[in-house]
Amino acid sequence: MEKMTVSIIIPCGNKKCDIEALLIEISSQEVFFDAELIRIDGVSPPSRARNEGVKKAKGEVLVFIDSDIRLADAMFLKNLVTPLTGDKNIGMTCASLKLPPWSSNFQMLYASQVPHSESPVPDKPIDVFVASSACSAICAEVFRSAGGFDENIIRGEDSVLSSRVLDMGLRLVLVPDTVCYHPVPEGLLRLIAVEFRNGKGVAFTDILYPELNIDVHPESIARFSPRKSPGERIRRFFSSWIKAIAGFKVILVLSKFFYACGYLCGVIRYCGVRRKK
């Protein structure tokens, strides 16, 4: 019987992107399928890079792995792909994101304060509303039926794809005991850059594609937040900021401040931009 093929798509910002350690981990995986590796260099935003990878893919299952991801063990890919082959009601799977064991004190403090830096590691499959594009798997047919990653937006494309898969009546599953290591900002300068970029990206979506701004619940990937008006979101933001200040969560306070700066910059930048047709 011919083995199925799984296409592993890794978007890289540029040709200097170092994924050697990741490639070694992929080559050491214990799998029941043939794997093809597709690296996409110099394409942005990441949503477009992933879609370009899919155009080249021959696999029945697509696995998306960001270039800065590391795999925790040799069973990772098998665990991620298996549910898609055994249950037609599952359209997409994702792994638990954890801080790398070699992280600095700053990174550990960041992860302890900033929501969604890490995700739980369940001992049985659990349904979620968002499958992080940092490391997820999806049936190729489902991906194409859902329209792929939305290339119009520069942030939040995984939430949009996840929502579309759910709208197809399919499940998104966080698979048990399957961990990938995902780094967080390694210092203050990187924190500023990341949070400013994130805030600006959300402003872009809010202004030009508000229908695509799907709000992940701040406490859990297992549900979305109900849609809120701009005023409600601003009040929620300042309420959470005040709580962070009161709790002496310095990293979270700084993260929110530079996110807000990026958002304000984005509002100024994109208010005069025409929406793509």
User: pLDDT grade, residue 207 (50/70/90)?
Assistant: confident
Longest dimension (CA), the chain: 62
Q: What is the mean pLDDT of residues 119-148?
A: 92
User: pLDDT grade, residue 220 (50/70/90)?
Assistant: very low
- Tokens 């991801």 correspond to 69
Q: What is the mean pLDDT of residues 9-16?
A: 83
pLDDT at 205 over 50: yes
pLDDT at 40: 94
Report yes or no: 140 and 61 within 8 Å, Cβ to Cβ: yes
Give per-residue burial for 238-270: e unless 16+ CB within 10 Å, then b: eeebeebeeeebebbbbbbbbbbebbeebeeeb
204: nearest Cα among 151, 130, 132, 257: 151
pLDDT at 247 over 60: yes
| 234 token code pair | 């601003």
pLDDT at 222 over 80: no
Q: For the ranges 180-189, 230-239, 241-250, which has the lowest average pLDDT?
A: 230-239
Q: What is the chain's mean pLDDT, rounded?
A: 89
Q: For the ranges 73-77, 181-185, 216-220, 251-255, which has the lowest average pLDDT?
A: 216-220
Q: Which domains does the chain have, with CATH numbers?
A: 5-181 (3.90.550.10), 188-270 (no CATH)
**CA–CA separation, 275 and 16 (whole Å):** 33
Cβ count near 147 (within 10 Å): 12
